[in-house]
Structure 1
Amino acid sequence: MNERMTEAGVATPFAKVPAVTLAFWITKIAATTLGETGGDAVTMSWLGETTSAADGMGYLIGTVLFAAVFAVAVWVQIRATRFRPALYWFAIIASTTVGTTLADYVTRSLGIGYAGGSALLLAMVLGVLWRWKRALGTVSVESVGEPASEGFYWLTIMASQTLGTALGDWVADTAGLGYTGAMLIFGGALAIVAVLHFRSKLSRTLLFWAAFILTRPLGAVVGDFLDKPVESGGLALSRFAATVALLVFIAGCVMFFPQRAAAKAH
């Protein structure tokens, strides 16, 4: 049984998601960055969406491939009887890659654009959170341990990862701030959320989801900064090399940073 003993000798059950620590946020940002470079490596470098022959189908094919991986990862995660760090972070990485390709398909292949895509995806995230709250009474990560809450949790994550990709591209490209400017915007927003966490009485659940959503556009613009051409403001690194390097870094985080499950709320 997935539980621990308190000092009073009372069994406290664990959730099937990690405790929210500094290590969690470092790993999460790295995973979102990998999602950007990995998704682009498949759709742009492999399937040719940056070539003159691009027809938009590369984004759709990439989305189908990564969605299948994500679905399997979540299915295994839900069937697991306890928190397993490697499995959890694999599912997170799968969600970031499918979020990248899906956002690109919606905003580029379907022609909705970054603003329209961001608005649509924000509505989706808020809708899932609202339905989760209505169905189970809470959207706190400490409640995630049963199939119903896990289903809502992973659906929210996938939607937020997709939103973050579109939002990051919108700020960096359409708003004209560039990758470094967008990094400062989203990094600053995360810093504000962190200050509110320590200095205010705002809902910790609200602040968690705000930070969780903001890490995705931050990772998206960092990923773009790494692999986009120099003339576009990037470093022009190999998408595949950047993806492998980030994967090694994340593996190191999972291996060497303390990984413990969040305690369920009572």
Structure 2
Amino acid sequence: MSDPSCQGRRMTTQTQEPTAPSRARQMLNKVPEVTAYFWLIKVMATTIGETAADYLNDNLGLGLTVTTGVMSVLLVIALVAQFRCRRYVPAVYWVTVVLISVVGTLITDNLTDNLGVSLWVTTTVFAVALVAVFALWHRQERTLSIHSIVTTRREAFYWLAILVTFALGTAAGDLTAEQLNLGYAPSVGLFAAAIAVVALAHYRFGLSAVTAFWVAYVLTRPLGASMGDLLSQARADGGLGLGTFVTSGVFLAAILGLVTYLTVTRRDATEARRPGAVEAP
């Protein structure tokens, strides 16, 4: 029997279409609580975004264009399923995040590798695009809080912002790697330290939760990519030599285990907030 939380949104037998406020009341928050589980799965998803894209493109020889097309179709299917849900469903949500991670990576790769757009340009363009998405989102909804993803329009803004953060994180991470010429392990340390600075600024110096969340969200993309490269690339190139297939498989298995746990326990569900849970922006 299918999960009723991921069926159509109409809950009433009346023929009249519910008003916008009533539709909003019928939807619980569509995203998870920001806990250690959230950040752990998110970093692993970004790692898969890097390694899975490389595996499909290079190892299987699909090429950027075919890989982008296939993954984009899968992402659209996942988004349709996510939008049909009335509440946060861990499996649907995190499948969507993994796929949007891969597609966000491929967007930047297509611009730089296929079209020859410089990383300076792509980083700048995606940064401006993200600011524009946030500005429009806030103008329409008067909030950027992920605690209030309870309408279709807010969810559309949310996923658009997520896609742009992945594309921006890919471009900024590649640009940093080229300019600083760091190894894989130092890159992991650099971006982990940057996230720690953001956390410190939030908890000790009053940086707003919204700003801290989204800056950290962008930074986890190059962090995850650097981790993926460190694990998958050859030892001669500074990696651990696991390969993209093994790295992707290990992280997918870890995500599957955590998502299964969260599905059973609902420990990250915002509609049943636990005492002491971290307040999301």
TM-score (norm 1): 0.87
What number of residue pairs does the alignment pair up? Answer: 248
* Equivalent position to 1:136, from 141, 148, 158: 141
Q: What residue number does 1:41 align with?
A: 55
Deviation digits for residues 96-149 of structure 1 (CA, Å, limit 9, x no counterpart): 111121111112211112222211111121111111111111111012121101
* Equivalent position to 1:24, from 38, 43, 52: 38
% same residue = 35
AA at the equivalent of 1:227: S
SS at match of 1:112: coil
How far, CA to CA, are the matches of 2:60 and 2:232 in structure 1?
14
Q: What residue number does 1:168 align with?
A: 173
* Equivalent position to 1:146, from 128, 151, 157: 151
Deviation digits for residues 21-48 of structure 1 (CA, Å, limit 9, x no counterpart): 1111111111111111111111121126
Q: What residue number does 1:260 align with?
A: 268
How far, CA to CA, are the matches of 1:194 and 1:120 in structure 2?
26
Q: What residue number does 2:89 align with?
A: 84
CA contact (8 A) 1:164 1:220 kept: no
SS at match of 2:30: strand
How far, CA to CA, are the matches of 1:200 and 1:62 in structure 2?
43
* Equivalent position to 2:226, from 221, 225, 232: 221
Cα shift at 1:259? 3.8
CA RMSD of aligned residues (A): 2.2
Structure 1 segments unaligned to the other structure (5+ residues): 3-10, 49-57
**Alignment partner of 1:205 is 2:210:** yes
CA contact (8 A) 2:71 2:99 kept: yes
* Equivalent position to 1:184, from 180, 189, 196: 189
Q: What residue number does 1:235 align with?
A: 240
Q: What residue number does 1:54 align with?
A: none
> Which stretch has the larger CA shift, 245-254 or 176-185?
176-185
How far, CA to CA, are the matches of 1:259 and 1:27 in structure 2?
14
Runs of 4+ off more than 6 Å: none
AA at the equivalent of 1:32: T
Q: What residue number does 1:7 align with?
A: none
Residues 213/20 of structure 1: CA separation in 2 closer, same or farther (3 Å cut): same
* Equivalent position to 2:120, from 112, 115, 134: 115
CA contact (8 A) 1:172 1:221 kept: no
> Which stretch has the larger CA shift, 249-258 or 33-42?
249-258
SS at match of 2:31: strand
CA contact (8 A) 2:51 2:247 kept: yes
Deviation digits for residues 204-234 of structure 1 (CA, Å, limit 9, x no counterpart): 1111111111111100111112222333222
How far, CA to CA, are the matches of 2:227 and 2:117 in structure 1?
24
Deviation digits for residues 18-73 of structure 1 (CA, Å, limit 9, x no counterpart): 0001111111111111111111111121126xxxxxxxxx2122112111111111
SS at match of 2:29: strand
How far, CA to CA, are the matches of 1:174 and 1:108 in structure 2?
17
Residues 108/45 of structure 1: CA separation in 2 closer, same or farther (3 Å cut): same
CA contact (8 A) 2:233 2:241 kept: yes
* Equivalent position to 1:195, from 196, 200, 219: 200
How far, CA to CA, are the matches of 2:270 and 2:207 in structure 1?
20
Cα shift at 1:190? 0.6
How far, CA to CA, are the matches of 2:120 and 2:187 in structure 1?
15
